[in-house]
Amino acid sequence: MTRFLDWWNTLLEFKDHDWAQNIIVISLFSAFLWLSWRVIVQRLHHIAAKTQLPWDDAVFTAISSPITLVIWLWPATASLKILLTTHTHFSTTWLPELQIFILVWSFIWSALRLTTLIEKQVLINPKHDETTVLAVGKVIRLIFISLGILSLMQGMGLSLSGLLTFGGVGGLVVGLAAKDLLSNFFGGMMIYFDRPFKVGDWIRSPDRSLEGTVERIGWRMTVIRTFDKRPLYVPNSVFSNIVVENPSRMLNRRIKEDIGIRYDDISNIGLIVSDIKTMLINHNDIDSNQTLIVNFNGFGPSSLDLLVYTFTKTVNWIEYHEVKQDVLIKIGDIIAQHNAEIAFPTQTVKIEQLPVN
């Protein structure tokens, strides 16, 4: 142990002419810090695993890699300065800016990793809206990146006041040149704020040939997967000028059928209407609190027309068709129970006989 301490103290005696020794000491110091940091991180993860909160795990996971980057790269800049000073005539005045860049990038990287981990943790809970969570995550990332870029510029000696003044004039030019890009950006913001639809919703527009399931809402465009599995990439500005229907948010699905009965069964029409209405009221999958109409609706060309108008409890497309099928079969059974039949188009031909001379 004494020999090791003597060797370590010898390495710590920096000498200007012994550049290799200085680099070795810096590298060993970085390795020592890295090993110490690894032990600390494992200990922190062990402590965080015993708590009920998921956020401490996210924080330790987010900062572990960026701090490791700083531990290795920050001393490496000192080694680089020694090499450049000893063996070349290159200027090293830019190394402090490089160190600032390493610190700022580590901060941005930690913030972005933490945002992503928190985003995933929040989305585990089905009560949280995926579209809102993703939108907030994008805004937070944009804020951290902007703060990092401004900090980096200030650390490099740039005047932020002059930059902001130039940005005001340049922003006008860029706005005129990229108005479509900006309109798509603000269109995406309106989707996030107004929330006419979210990821996973089935939407369609009567104004455009647009129908499918929303897969992703980006800053510039929205990706919609059609029912034949084709992707549609729709610029967000389009949604500001069209009517969007969101069937995913319907409360019920409607059954509306016109059923024709033979004219020969007109004496049973009242009983048939009454039994069909009773069947629908007592049906487990029909919402009797919504509009329910069963009426003799008119005399058709070849049938007595019944109107059946009701709503199902389910909004699922497949379940709806199962319920509709069951309702139609039961209506057919009711008609048959009254010795009646469903009409089909018929024509009566009257042949007039001429008098025989």
Cβ contacts of 178-186, under 8 Å, gap ≥ 24: 180/235, 180/237, 181/220, 183/236, 183/237, 183/240, 184/219, 184/220, 184/221, 184/235, 184/236, 184/237, 185/219, 185/220, 185/236, 186/237
**Regions in the chain scoring below 70 on pLDDT:** 1-19, 21, 48, 52-54, 56, 92, 126-132, 154-182, 346-348, 350, 354, 356-357
Whether 221 and 184 have beta carbons less than 8 Å apart is answered as yes
Say how far apart CA 213 and CA 191 lie, in whole Å.
15
> Residue 290, CB half-sphere, CA atoms under 13 Å: how many?
15
pLDDT digits (tens, 9 = 90+) for 4-46: 445 545 544 545 446 676 777 777 777 888 888 888 878 877 7
pLDDT digits (tens, 9 = 90+) for 63-74: 788 888 887 777
Q: What is the pTM of this model?
A: 0.52
In this structure, what DSSP letter does residue 53 have?
-
Other CB atoms within a 10 A radius of the CB of residue 274 amount to 12
Say how far apart CA 187 and CA 241 lie, in whole Å.
10
Other CB atoms within a 10 A radius of the CB of residue 151 amount to 16
Rounding to the nearest 10 degrees, give the CA dihedral for residues 207, 210, 211, 217: -110
